Amino acid sequence: MSEVKFNPHVSVDCVVFGFDGKNLKVLLLERHIKEQNEFYNDKKLPGSIIFETEDLESAAYRILNELTGLKNIYLSQFQSFGDPKRTKNPRDIVWLENTTNLKIGRIVTVGYVALIKINSLLQLKNEYADVVWFDVNKLGKTRLAFDHVQIIQKGLAYIRRKSDLEPELLFELLPRKFTISQLRILHDTIHQKQSDVRNFQKKVKKMPYVVALGEKEKNVPHRAANLYKFDRKKV
Amino acid sequence: MSEVKFNPHVSVDCVVFGFDGKNLKVLLLERHIKEQNEFYNDKKLPGSIIFETEDLESAAYRILNELTGLKNIYLSQFQSFGDPKRTKNPRDIVWLENTTNLKIGRIVTVGYVALIKINSLLQLKNEYADVVWFDVNKLGKTRLAFDHVQIIQKGLAYIRRKSDLEPELLFELLPRKFTISQLRILHDTIHQKQSDVRNFQKKVKKMPYVVALGEKEKNVPHRAANLYKFDRKKV
DNA sequence: TTTCTAATTGTTTATCATACAATATGATTA
DNA sequence: TAATCATATTGTATGATAAACAATTAGAAA
């Protein structure tokens, strides 16, 4: 690996969302810390301190590429976090200094939201072997590094607001072929409400960028639904 | 002044908007640079590198307090800017190193939008003597430091989006007592459109937080309009 | 053939956004 | 004091959108 100079004062963290058909999930990495011969486990967001000559968005893409192997990921900066106390937990400091070989002081981190199709993870480097899709409604039930719970909550709020203005953003989370029910359940999950089935159908039929494929679902134990695709050119 | 340790890797810039009754203005500081016995003048956003132990939002409040003397300013983080080239203009580097006495490399800056009543500027420290309210539509006609034009444009886009969702934010820009016409002109300025006078009046009458004062304008050469105030408790 | 599960479809009503112009008021002026 | 000027104030009709509400259909399984 070529010599790259890190800037240990600024980092980028990615809140990667996926949808499993039922719930919204966030991609987390397992972290293992050895503390006085005891192992401590928790989870963290994929992130990295930036290179000295790297743009913020490039850093986010770098992280996502290494993590998922994907190109053309939906990515959007949503907020920066700079509480001086956010990098003061000794466990986090030790972990940082071990993984970066740098003396770490304060780090301001820039939060990005990414949206991917949950089954699209490709090559995973070894360092990203311990990846889990974690239910965003169960964040209270696990331990996260740094202020990553707060970052996820803000990322979630951001994507809720943003998908109101840009509903086409939801298709990043659905399979390439999807049913209107899948779209509705995703929509309802994100907006935390229950839509009327008929009204939702009508609304979708008026979206020129949702086009019927003339195919039906297969292997479902009930009436098969029509399949649709998203056509970005028609947005 | 007590010893405060700066963190020269991260800064905060404030895009302070005001409204003069006609146009949206942004608050800029005049910058004077001596270059080989020639004076070079341009403008910059109020901003500062952060203190090592200071939160981002606290830094923004610190800047605004020193600049305006005001407390309780509407403030909202909107985006961070980290292009490595943004701090590579020699003029900017010289200016930074002269004003901070620090060796400056790359700086990531966090953008905040602030909204104030244009006539409310109070104490101005000497260092902020050269303050101008600059028309946001005339930004092409002046020279700005760093990437401050871009930061202002993004801040403007942010406030446009945000005031759609939170119309009560507009009252930060109006005098304490205002007419519905003033509110409409501000609204139209921000949304870049022309509202129908009657429809706008109806809309305002349905806002419980806009309350009539039972007073009228004075010293206007035409029929005096009713005055209203904004009641935050009724939002 | 029956049953089960989810998919598909229309009508009514209320609400909200838009289009559109005449009259009223206060100050100024002739 | 009457006319004029500039802006404030007000209502109705129409179209578009959102919300409420249930019966029928299709495919798989029993």
Enter the pTM of the model: 0.96
For residue B110, pLDDT over 90 is answered with yes
Which residues of A are less than 8 Å from B53 in CB distance? 84
Closest CA to A107 of A2, A205, A7: A7
Last residue of a domain, one of A118, A141, A165: A165
Closest CA to A144 of A92, A90, A96: A92
Written in H, E and C, the secondary structure of B1-49 is: CCCCCEEEEEEEEEEEEEECCCCEEEEEEEEEEEECCEEEEEEECCEEE
Question: Would B44 be classed as within a structural domain?
Answer: yes
A223 and A117, same domain (yes or no): no
For residue A2, pLDDT over 60 is answered with no
Provide, in whole angstroms, the distance separating residue B204's CA from nucleotide C26's C1': 24
Report pLDDT digits (tens) over B7-33: 999 999 999 999 999 999 999 999 998
A147 and A53, same domain (yes or no): yes
Q: Answer whether B82 sits within 8 Å of A55, measured CB to CB.
A: yes
B123 and B218, same domain (yes or no): no
Question: Would A93 be classed as within a structural domain?
Answer: yes
Residue range(s) defining the domain that contains residue B20: 10-165
Question: Would B17 be classed as within a structural domain?
Answer: yes
- With an 8 Å Cβ cutoff, the interface of chain A facing chain B consists of 7, 9-10, 50, 52-56, 77, 79-84, 105-106, 108, 110, 161, 165
Q: Answer whether A52 sits within 8 Å of B106, measured CB to CB.
A: yes
Question: Would B2 be classed as within a structural domain?
Answer: no
Measured N-to-C along each axis, helices B197-205 and B180-191 cross at an angle, to the nearest 10 degrees, of 110
Q: What is the pLDDT of residue B123?
A: 62
What residues pair up with B228 in beta bridges, in sequence order? Answer: B178, B212
A154 and A181, same domain (yes or no): no
Residues 6+ apart with CB under 8 A from B57: B75, B77, B112
Helix (H) or strand (E) segment spanning residue B229: strand B226-230
Q: Which positions of chain C lie under 7 Å from any protein Cβ?
A: 4-11, 17-21, 24-28
Split into its structural domains, chain B has a count of: 2
B108 and B159, same domain (yes or no): yes
B70 and B151, same domain (yes or no): yes
Q: What CATH number did the domain enclosing B132 receive?
A: 3.90.79.10
For residue B2, pLDDT over 80 is answered with no
Q: What is the pLDDT of residue B37?
A: 86
A35 or A177, higher pLDDT = A177
Last residue of a domain, one of B147, B165, B183: B165
Report pLDDT digits (tens) over A177-197: 999 999 999 999 999 999 999
Question: Would B4 be classed as within a structural domain?
Answer: no
A179 and A140, same domain (yes or no): no
Token duo for residue A225: 């639904």
B152 and B47, same domain (yes or no): yes
Token duo for residue B70: 């005001």
Question: Would B3 be classed as within a structural domain?
Answer: no
Chain A and chain B share a number of CB contacts under 8 A equal to: 59
Q: What is the pLDDT of residue B206?
A: 94
Q: Looking at residues B92-113, what average pLDDT do you find?
A: 95
Q: What is the pLDDT of residue A137?
A: 96
B125 or A197, higher pLDDT = A197
Q: Answer whether B105 sits within 8 Å of A52, measured CB to CB.
A: yes
Nearest CA in chain A to B86: A55
Distance to chain A for B93, nearest Cα, Å: 16
* Residue A121's pLDDT band (cuts 50, 70, 90): confident
A111 and A29, same domain (yes or no): yes
Report if CB A214 to strand D is under 7 Å. Answer: no
Last residue of a domain, one of B165, B186, B206: B165
Distance to chain B for A87, nearest Cα, Å: 11
Q: Looking at residues B207-221, what average pLDDT do you find?
A: 94
Q: What CATH number did the domain enclosing A230 receive?
A: 1.10.10.10
Distance to chain B for A192, nearest Cα, Å: 18
- Distance, in Å, from the CA atom of A188 to the CA atom of A167, rounded to the nearest integer, reads 12
A161 and A206, same domain (yes or no): no
Provide, in whole angstroms, the distance separating residue B224's CA from nucleotide D4's C1': 17
